Structure 1
Amino acid sequence: MTIRTAVIGFGTAGRVFHAPLVAAEPRFALSAVVTSSPERAAVVAAEYPGTVVLSSTDELFDRAEEFDLVVIGSPNETHAPLALRAIEAGLHVVIDKPIAVTAAESRQVVEAAAAAGVKLTVFQNRRWDGDFKTLQAVLEKGELGEVRQFETSFEWWSPKVTERWKDTATPQSGGGMLYDLGPHLIDQAIQLFGPVEEIHAELDARRPGAFNDDDSFMTMRHTSGVRTRMWMSAISPAPRPRFRVVGSQGVFVSEGLDPQEPQSIAGRRPGSEGFGRHDDGRTATISTPEGERAVELQAGEYLAFYRLLGDALTDSASLPIDPADSITALELIERAVRG
């Protein structure tokens, strides 16, 4: 079975993440891309010559019978309306996180998919970051002892407000760092340490002209007793460690963001030599009172999401991401915004 796939949007989500991954998984066909930009349409034609370019979502849904799956990589406020249209057309759906701007909208989308008998999942690709996979393996082996603190950051240097929708969208329509990065960091924390009882957030707009949070902090206390602290910033001249995990017997530290996104931007593709591994050969470290040792970082593998999705669509296996997990993260974000 070939899963005929249409990707809505060819910005960062569609161009850097979804299109290359769909094209790389043998059971999927990148049948169409929806973009109204002539420049982006030209890129699609050059990189994926067998792919149809559609100028609007109306055109896509008018031809719904030609597709099996819709991938929604457009701005956050469009996620729920487009997902509901796809569900009504009988198409399976992948939504780039978050599912919607609110948890209530997200539940509406999930309920509609269940009622229609279509599959719906969320692209929480950071579960397949190499450093996250490495940390999971370290924790499963108990190498840190009892974990007490989990520090996680996602920071870069972009001191001026841009024209990208993530900068210009209002908080009510899903703009800002918390809605951009929070779904990833919260999801990773819950995957590692379980449900959350308490949260606190500090959301600041630092850049001139900014009306969304661009320098944010959030802390959560898990039922397990672990305290998670998260930093999300567009104005950090130098980033914190990506992960710092403090246990009763050792401390795990990894530096730098997963390389798959910059590799994809540079034109490298899943399956090519070294894809998903840092070119500089960096390692994580575990430090104990006895000293420090290097930990080899596993290769990141976002393609695993589409491999698991292919299993779900062709063999009735479990979806790669349960949408309920993404709704839980949105509920925590809403609690943080309310204060």
Structure 2
Amino acid sequence: MSIQDAAQAENVAVALVGYGFAGQVFHARVLACVPGLRLAVVVSSQPDKVAADWPDVPVSPDLGAALAAHPEVQLVVVATPNAAHFPIARAALEAGRHVVVDKPFTLDAGEARQLVALAERSGKIVSVYQNRRFDADFLTLRELLAQRRVGRPVYFESHFDRYRSEVRIRWREQNVPGAGLWVDLGAHLLDQALQLFGVPDTLQLDSAILRDSAEVEDYFHAVLRYERGAHSPLRVVLHATTLAAHPAPRYLLHGTHGSYVKEGVDPQEDALRAGALPGSEGWGIDPLAGHLVAPDAAAGTSTVEVPNLAGDYSRYYAMMRDAILGRGAPPVSADEAVQLMELLDLGRRSAIEGRALPTS
């Protein structure tokens, strides 16, 4: 193999399907910063919008045409409205490509299992984009738990509170399949909880429509109960709302030896919105440090500042690149993608029935 051929083999060509907010901000801008990945084509009905950002990248009206014109594409990234995740991911797998799907993976666990089975038959990787595994404060919290800085955890709250009183005209806030806050922000908070503590014994979800003129739930409060295993007994609360002018702390953790509290959210989303790119100066640095509060015999309590580790969403795509090249596991496994959809489905059932439901 020549040096030029070797370089091309190491360069994974990517087709991005969808150029709305997620495709433009969270996928194109992030993956384009990862060495060894190349944005080869964008599938979009907005060619002018794509051209304004990526003048040298061709635009195609549909996935079939894109793959026919660009047979070198190895990875298809699906960043469409949620209802289209399954059919587009299925088409990409049937065409012999690896696939990344923006969260939520599918509309339900049944669709998720079908995609995973298809990926296994075709020998391709399918993964879901859980970028908030690479939030600065989440990485810090995970390290703090690994070091047992609060002892055994007994209670944990994870909030994603916003103030967006006006209902916007967009599919995410309309009464269509795949809309609503539980599958949007809940997919992030639940995935993080699973990474930290594993699968709970029961899950109970309360959800509601709180804003005037809202069509889908814009509030949820989930309680995860752990009664068996290494972290038991433990209670985990996952909470999100669109009517919090004064948000709660992002994380609140109580343990047998102390507590940890973290205000504010990871800065990477705002940085991407503003046009900054991974790898730029100060990328992924969250200046709002958390605080560890512990009992102190003399002063009652002592408070120690806990600086955040650096976050980096591009790590997701670097891991995906390596998995495609046979150098490691994908950042989110197919089994994890199915498991999360099963729990999101269980949460919806819990909200309808108004009770805690067992996870197995």
Relative to the length of structure 1, the TM-score reads 0.94
**Matched letter for residue 17 of structure 2:** I
Which residue of structure 2 aligns with residue 73 of structure 1? 79
Amino acid at match of 1:312: A
Distance, in Å, in 2 between the alignment partners of 1:257 and 1:73 is: 23
Which sits farther off after the overlay, 161-170 or 296-305? Answer: 161-170
User: For 1:132 and 1:49, how far apart are their aligned partners in 2?
Assistant: 35
Give the corresponding residue for 1:221: 225
CA distance in 1 between partners of 2:251 and 2:155 (Å): 11
* Equivalent residue number for residue 196 of structure 1: 200
Matched, 1:295 2:306: yes
Aligned to 2:284: 276
Distance in 2, matches of 1:107 and 1:63, equals 30
Q: Offset at 1:46?
A: 2.9
Instruction: Please tell me the residue identity of whatever aligns with 2:186.
Output: G
Is residue 2:193 matched to residue 1:186?
no
Q: Give the aligned residue type for 1:167.
A: E
Of residues 146, 149, 156 in structure 2, which corresponds to 1:150?
Answer: 156
Q: Does structure 2 retain, via aligned residues, the 8 Å contact 1:183–1:326?
A: no
1:328 positional shift: 1.5
Aligned length: 332
2:316 aligned with 1:314: no
Distance 1:70 1:202 in 2: 35
Shift of 1:272: 0.4
Please give the secondary structure, in 2, of the residue aligned with 1:159.
Answer: coil
Residue of 335, 343, 347 corresponding to 1:332? 343
Equivalent residue number for residue 239 of structure 2? 231
Residue number in structure 2 paired with 1:249: 257
SS at structure 1 position matched to 2:206:
strand
Question: What SS does the aligned partner of 1:24 have?
Answer: coil
In structure 2, how many angstroms separate the alpha carbons of the residues matched to 1:26 and 1:272?
14
In structure 1, give the amino acid aligned to 2:311: G
Matched, 1:140 2:146: yes
Distance in 2 separating the partners of 1:68 and 1:233: 38
Equivalent position amino acid for 2:38 in 1: A
Give the alignment partner of residue 44 of structure 2, picking from 24, 35, 41: 35
TM-fit CA distance, 1:211: 2.3
Contact preservation (8 Å) 2:264, 2:288: no
2:127/2:333 contact within 8 Å kept: yes
Deviation of the 1:48 alpha carbon: 2.0
CA–CA distance in structure 2, aligned partners of residues 275 and 316 of structure 1: 26
Give the CA deviation at 1:175. 0.8
The equivalent of 2:59 in structure 1 is 53
Give 1:209 deviation, angstroms: 2.1
Letter in 2 for 1:146: R
By how many angstroms is 1:12 displaced? 1.9
- The DSSP-based 3-state class of the residue aligned with 2:340 is helix
Give, in whole Å, the separation in 2 of the partners of 1:333 and 1:26: 34
Could you report, residue by residue, the CA deviation over 1:166-213 in whole angstroms, capped at 9, with x for unpaired residues? 10143xx11100010111111111111112111111110011222211
Matched residue of 1:319: which SS? coil
- Aligned amino acid, residue 37 of structure 2: F
Within the candidate set 2, 6, 13, 2:11 is matched to 2
Counterpart AA for 2:265 = L
Give identity over the alignment, percent.
35
- Greater alpha carbon shift after TM alignment, 288-297 vs 63-72: 63-72
- 1:89 pairs with 86, 95, 100, which one? 95
User: Which secondary structure does the structure 1 equivalent of 2:215 belong to?
Assistant: coil
> 1:260-275 to 2 correspondence within 5 Å?
260-275=268-283
Question: In the alignment, residue 251 of structure 2 is paired with which amino acid?
Answer: F
Aligned to 2:4: none
Give the Cα–Cα distance (whole angstroms) in 2 for the partners of residues 117 and 58 of structure 1.
Answer: 20
Q: Which one has the largest radius of gyration?
A: 2
Q: Is the 8 A contact 2:67 2:73 kept in 1?
A: no
Contact persistence 1:131–1:297 (CA under 8 A): yes
- For residues 200-211 of structure 1, the aligned pairs below 5 Å read 200-211=204-215
Letter paired with 1:138:
L
Whole-Å separation in 2 of the counterparts to 1:208 and 1:253: 32
- The 1-side partners of 2:70 and 2:326 are apart by 23
Amino acid aligned to 1:10: Y
Hey, what does 1:15 align to over in structure 2? 24
Q: Distance in 1 between matches of 2:326 and 2:335?
A: 22
Aligned AA (1:296): P
CA deviations on 1:131-164 (whole Å, 9 max, x unpaired) are 0000011111111001001100111111121112
Instruction: Tell me by how many angstroms 1:316 deviates.
Output: 4.1
TM-score by length of 2: 0.89
Q: 2:165 & 2:250 partners in 1: Cα distance? A: 20
Superposed displacement of residue 252, structure 1: 0.8
Aligned equivalents of 1:68 and 1:46: distance in 2? 25
AA aligned opposite 2:280: S
State the secondary structure of the residue aligned to 1:211: coil
